[in-house]
Structure 1
Amino acid sequence: MPANPSRGEIRERYLKVDTSNVADVLDDLGLPDQGLSPDFVPMPVGAGKLAGYAFTIRGQMTPFAPGGDAEKMKACAELSTSDIAVWSGDGQGVCYFGELIAIGMKERGAAGALVDGGVRDLKWIGELGFPVFARYRAPVQSIMRWKVNAWRVPVFLRGATIERVKVEPGDFILADEDGAIAIPAAKVIEVLIAAEKLTAKEVAIRDELKRGLSLAEALDRYGHV
């Protein structure tokens, strides 16, 4: 790996590894609780892989007058290339954003969104080619109901093995068919290198199996993966 790989280079390399391998590496590093709740799913189905740096946005259920959420727009205006917009805040039954906000995030160069809440306009977001993983879908807008109150702050997302996973600005988010996981910023490169090695090992095992090697023989040769 180059001495100082760019965010874009790191992101492209993460797109070539699986969340399952990243989870195994994190286990080996003593970080067993970085997996996010299985409720996080691609919306729409087939939305594509999610990889990038966490740009955190926090909100809460707050009745307010009609007219939009100025803080939400300010937060989205700060997104940049290779960012994942990470939305948190215990919204109940409402969507945090829809097609138009997704267009704005994509225009800013964001690589996708991870939403601990709801989204809408799934058909149009799918056509936009902007990968989104969220907990639920909802037609009900957030205006008058849910409001952004901070961004670029630590947030706590629903976890897989613990109740909440802390995600800091600059942590790395990876999500695919198996689910979503958060990689602490200080471990991003170390985890990537180890996951790439594990991925290469799995590719070698698949090739051997296709050539007739039995699973028992493959495990004897390569060890557990």
Structure 2
Amino acid sequence: MANDFTPEQRKRIRERYLRVDTSNVADVLDTLGYLDQGLSPDFRPYPREAGQLAGWAYTVRGQMTPYELGGDADKMQACQGLSEGEISVWSGDGQGICYFGELIAIGMKERGCLGALVDGGVRDVRWIGAQKFPVYARYRTPVQSIGRWKVNAWQIPVYLRGATTPLVRVRPGDFILGDDDGVIVIPFEIVERVLDEAEGLTQKEVQIRARLQEGLTLAQALEQFGHV
């Protein structure tokens, strides 16, 4: 599990994942029999230039619940548990509302959180972008969650919309990787194996690109290096 790694090991693993693409990670997961780890293409970076999302999952779940205005104490309590190197993963049945905005993003960042993955909405996009805090969400909206959507659990397995399956399970400690191609979930049991093999694929692609620039044809490159 991620909890079995020391803080330094967690940091180093994350740094290495930042140097591989989600596409290579997805290919490795396929070869290992994990065929449904990709999230829905509806997940996009906010702002558009937010950059990569990489870190250990800290899960939060909520649901549509009418209540009086005045804040969501459970949401604030959930965010207090975030720690260095984690990604806050937000799930639930919210529709048309944001799960959080600029101020909570600032609070998460202060605790060492490295970004957010939101199966719902986000607002204050411009100001979150100024914080250099990457957020991947399904949509943006100015409508707040207070009075409409309420956190009811955290640090439990949650389910997010998938690319090849209706839902993808995300557990505390799974690894989240997002880039221009989308978002993928790496189960914590195989996080190192997937990383090692994805790095191998990445190196092979570097060699292929170099040979193509030297004048090798694509057919020749595939014959030499095999399918990638």
Give the alignment's TM-score, normalised by structure 2.
0.96
1:42 and 2:48 are equivalent in the alignment: no
Between the aligned partners of 1:198 and 1:90, the Cα distance in structure 2 is 37
**Aligned counterpart in structure 1 of residue 146 of structure 2, from 134, 143, 146:** 143
Between the aligned partners of 1:90 and 1:40, the Cα distance in structure 2 is 15
| CA 163–219 in structure 1, closer or farther in 2 if over 3 Å, else same | same
Amino acid aligned to 1:61 = M
Amino acid aligned to 2:202 = T
Which residue is equivalent to 2:82?
A: 79
Between the aligned partners of 2:207 and 2:77, the Cα distance in structure 1 is 48
Between the aligned partners of 1:101 and 1:204, the Cα distance in structure 2 is 43
Between the aligned partners of 1:175 and 1:66, the Cα distance in structure 2 is 34
Instruction: Tell me the matched-pair count.
Output: 224
SS in 2 for 1:6: helix
Between the aligned partners of 1:109 and 1:135, the Cα distance in structure 2 is 23
Report the identity percentage: 68
Amino acid aligned to 2:59 = T
1:120 and 2:123 are equivalent in the alignment: yes
Per the TM alignment, residue 65 of structure 1 is displaced from its structure 2 partner at its CA by: 1.2
**Aligned counterpart in structure 1 of residue 179 of structure 2, from 176, 179, 199:** 176
SS in 2 for 1:140: coil
Amino acid aligned to 1:164 = L
SS in 1 for 2:105: helix
1:59 and 2:62 are equivalent in the alignment: yes
SS in 2 for 1:218: helix
Q: Which runs of 5+ in 2 are unaligned?
A: none
**Aligned counterpart in structure 2 of residue 221 of structure 1, from 214, 219, 224:** 224
Per the TM alignment, residue 5 of structure 1 is displaced from its structure 2 partner at its CA by: 6.1
Between the aligned partners of 1:92 and 1:147, the Cα distance in structure 2 is 12
Task: Please give the root-mean-square deviation of Cα atoms over the aligned residues, in Å.
Answer: 1.3
Which residue is equivalent to 1:192?
A: 195
SS in 1 for 2:189: helix
**Aligned counterpart in structure 2 of residue 201 of structure 1, from 185, 204, 219:** 204
Between the aligned partners of 1:22 and 1:140, the Cα distance in structure 2 is 35
